[in-house]
Every structure is written in structure tokens, then in C-alpha cells.
Structure 1
Amino acid sequence: MDLTDKIVVVTGGSAGLGEQICYEAAKRGAIVVTCARRIQLIGQVKERCSQLSGKAAFAFQLDIADPDSVESVVEKIADEVGEVDVLVNNAGFGLFEDFVDFDLAIAKKMFEVNVLGMMYFTQKLALSMVNNQRGHIFNVASMAGKMATPKSTIYSATKFAVLGFSNALRLELRPANVYVTTINPGPIATEFFDKADPSGNYLKDLGGIVLDPHKLAKTIVNKMGKPTREINRPIIMEGASRFYHLFPHIGDLLAGGLFNRK
């Protein structure tokens, strides 16, 4: 897709992968709309996007788990920006703990953010895409949604849900020429792990397979406008997830041992 003057909306766009997707889209001439809770940070992202694209960019404060906030942002996008060409659902969080010790109030919040809020926001913007017979939706899931490991029970459950939702949505929207792509990254060197693993040991133990958000963002933006089913990174973890499903008993041993660094 020639992104010149295309409207690209990114949730969770205040930092990490979402921030880098905003910048990459802006470099291609897109009109970027960054949405997140941290208003000061998305204001900075907005300014940087405007510098990179040489055109207007927008920042709207969004609590994806709050339906009223979603309604408000959707209205602002329609009134102030225009009809969305690309939506990147990147907002989400995780926490790595044993399930028997997990605070289920946090589990509820994780589903509200990672799944239900994403669905609600997607439905609102997909309506205009279907009417226009064009558009592209990217849903950030995770390798954890393909191959669960210990201490990721709740997070993996949310990402399995994102995968199932995306797979069905892709088939439903295909006749309307609206593409749906699932992004399944392994661990990325972002502040996501400040909350998910406050000890900082997880990323250190993984070493070279930790993803660079700049490179992944470029890969995602390169796929905008192309009918792509999934983006899976790193390749070694994609191979492991295939092995996991082909040989489930051995896969359990790997997921509980070799690929478990939490």
C-alpha cells in the first residue's frame, strides 16, 4: 500500500512497538493517529510523526478497557481526521505469575484490555471499512497465544482469544476487501516487561531471540495493504510453535523447560 495520506490508527502507541509503528507509518507519508492512556507521551509521538511525515498527526487519550473512552475516540477520529484505512490493535499488557497466586482482579482487567476492549474498538472502526470496501486490521497477539508456557496462564489465554477472534474475523471481512493480519511476536525489548517481569531476568535469559521493536515495526508497516494472514517473529519460535502442535507431548516438555525462562 502507498501510505501517502492514508489514515493509520495505532492503539498502545505511546511507547514500545506501537510507538515505532507510528514512526514507520509516518515515514511512508501516512496520517498517523496514536492512541493510549498516557497523554503526554502520545503528544510527543504525535509531534515526531508530524515531523517525519510533513503533515498532520493526531493523538487521542484512550483507555481501551472503557467503552465510553472508545466511543469518544471513535467520534473524534471521524470528526477530526476521517475514515480509517489501517488499524493496529497494539494495546495490551501481561503479568507472569503462577496461576494459583494470580490476582483474578488483574486477570479480569487483562481480558478487558487485551481482548474485549480490542474487540469493541475494532467493531466500531471495521463498520466504515466494510462500507468503503477497503481497509486493513492488524491485531497484536503473541507467540504465547500459540505455545503457552508456565506463568503465562492468563496472558496466554487472552492471546489465544485474540488469535481465535482474528482468524474468524479475517474470513468474515474478506468479501468486503478488508484484510485482517495477526502479529505474533515473541519477547520484544520494550517496557512491556517492566510490568510483566519486574525482576528483569526474563529478557536477560533469552538473549539473542529478543526482538528489536524498530525492525518488527518495519516488517508490519511493509505488510500494510497486503493480504497477510500472520506475521510471526522470531522465526525460531514460529518453528517451535509448529513443532509444539505436531508433537504435543514433546512440545509440553519443551514449553515447560527449554522455552520457559520466566
Structure 2
Amino acid sequence: MLSSSIDYLIEMGVNKVNTLEQKVVVITGASGGIGAHMAIKLSTYGAIPILLARSKERLGKISDQIQGQHDVYVVDVSSKDHIFEVISLILSKYGKIDIFINNAGYAVFNDFLQLSLNEIEEMMMVNYFGVVYSCKAVLPSMIERNSGHIINVASMAGKVGSAKSSAYAASKHAVLGFTNSLRQELNKTNIIVSSLNCGPIDTPLLTKADVSGDYKANLPKWFILEPETVTKAILDIIANQKVEKNIPLIANMGSKILQILPRSLDKITAKITNRK
């Protein structure tokens, strides 16, 4: 009942606060998982989702599931030349980008000493520099129109570090710091800069990151988010122009307590978070 009420309020917000009809919404990492789910759902509200990802084949499969107007581009967000080229093509074709969702990212969960430098660097390139390149490419057009919304999908790991996620957490810390600073720089414009911080999400990316399988197996099922829940959070951010949203609620509460008592709760939180 509560879930239905929340869905209703979010949908009313989308219709009343910020209609998505004919809005050009670019989503990186849209060939699967939450990116694909966002694209399909946003299309049902009349938006024009533009799907960006590295796999042409997987993009094609998601494209087949979208009924309304949409587009797909093959792009590697870790390549600044590639992302600038693709965003330029999108702007030339559509004349604007209303919402840009930086969703591309991945994780490798392992002890720091077991991670290769290549793995650490690649996570930073995709998770952090991919966001930076995209924002650098899209912001001039938004500033020119004095309108736009950038949503950076970060992680609760950017707020609370845990064992075997040092490199991933560092990349998401960077995303959060960048997002919060960029918001301050644009506070005199009509451009909104938001962050969505999620706990673990039940997608193939979690399985790929959690090579041992221990993390997912040891977490309570209610703590793992479904893609549908993340999409609802994105709709809430868009509809109500929120600058930050943290899910699930218990992780949000935990992160705030940790900011007050970081050292006192280290051992307690380690038992919960270090289950990888």
C-alpha cells in the first residue's frame, strides 16, 4: 500500500512539476541494468531517451523494448574524444539535451593489494572521469539555454567505505565531491545538479563485481535494491528537482550516523559492510 502511494506521488510529481513530454534525456551505461530500465520507463512518460553504452548489440536489444521515440549511440565514456563527439552529434540532431544521467560505472570488489593498478585506474576512468567528460561536453549547451538537469549516479560507497571496495569507493567519493562542487558553481543558473547514491543493486554488474559471490549471499535480500526502485528514485529527483537522494533508507541513516561517530562505529559497521 505504501509503495503504491509513493508511486502515485512520484508520478503526480512528474506530471505536475516537470513534464517529460519531448524531453531529451541522455543516459550513459544504458545497455543493461538500471540504465536500460530508466530508458524504458522514461519513454513511457513521453521523454526521448538517448541510450549510450559500449555494446552495440546490447543497445539494440534494449532499443527493441522501447516503443516511443529514442536513439542509441555506441560510446566509451572513458574516452574524452569519443564522448565529446557523440554529445556533439546528439546536440546537432535534437538541438538540446534537457536531462543528462551519468549512470555508466562498474566495480571490482577485492582487497587493495589484490587489485591491479590497471583495475584501479579503469574504475576511476569510467566511474569518475566519464562523469567529468560528459559534464564538460554537455554543460556549455545547457548554460547557453540556461536550462538543464544533470544527474550523477554515485553510490553509498561514496559516503561509507568498506573492505574490498577501496578503488570503487574512491571513484564514487570523487563523483560526489565533483557533483557538490559543480552544484555550487551553477547555483545562479537554472541548471540543476543532482546525485543519486545507491546501495547494492540486483543487476549483472553486482554479480560481476562480487566475484566470490559472498557479498550478495551474505546481505539480507531486503537490503539489495531492485532496478525498479532506482528508476523510481530517478523519477523523484526529476519530478521534485532534488539535489540528492540516498537509497535504501537504512543505508542513508547509517551514513549520517557514521559522519557524527566515524571511529566509534567502525567495528560495528565493518561487520555489516565487509561481507564481500
Per the normalisation by structure 2, the TM-score is: 0.90
Distance in 1 between the 2:117 and 2:272 partners?
A: 28
Structure 2: which amino acid aligns with 1:247? L
Distance in 1 between the 2:129 and 2:267 partners?
A: 32
- SS of corresponding position for 2:246: strand
Alignment of 1:143 with 2:156, yes or no, is yes
Structure 1: which amino acid aligns with 2:105? G
Distance in 1 between the 2:80 and 2:132 partners?
A: 11
* Equivalent position of 2:48 in the other structure: 31
Contact 1:10 1:18 in 2 (8 A): yes
- SS of corresponding position for 2:110: coil
* Equivalent position of 2:264 in the other structure: 250
Alignment of 1:104 with 2:121, yes or no, is no
Q: Which residues of 2 match residues 136-215 of structure 1 at below 5 A? A: 136-207=149-220, 208-215=222-229
Structure 1: which amino acid aligns with 2:256? R
Structure 2: which amino acid aligns with 1:224? I
Distance in 2 between the 1:170 and 1:39 partners?
A: 33
Contact 1:33 1:46 in 2 (8 A): no
* Equivalent position of 1:61 in the other structure: 74
Contact 1:62 1:69 in 2 (8 A): yes
Distance in 2 between the 1:44 and 1:58 partners?
A: 12
Alignment of 1:237 with 2:251, yes or no, is yes
Alignment of 1:261 with 2:275, yes or no, is yes
Q: 1:130 to 1:104 in 2, by over 3 A?
A: same
Runs of 5+ consecutive residues of structure 1 not aligned to the other structure? none
Contact 1:114 1:158 in 2 (8 A): yes
* Equivalent position of 1:228 in the other structure: 242
**Alpha-carbon deviation of 1:202?**
1.3
Count of aligned residue pairs for this structure pair: 258
- SS of corresponding position for 2:234: helix
RMSD: 1.3
Q: Which residues of 2 match residues 5-44 of structure 1 at below 5 A? A: 5-44=22-61
**Alpha-carbon deviation of 1:245?**
0.8
* Equivalent position of 2:139 in the other structure: 126
- SS of corresponding position for 1:17: helix
Q: 1:85 to 1:225 in 2, by over 3 A?
A: farther
**Alpha-carbon deviation of 1:225?**
5.2
**Alpha-carbon deviation of 1:219?**
2.1
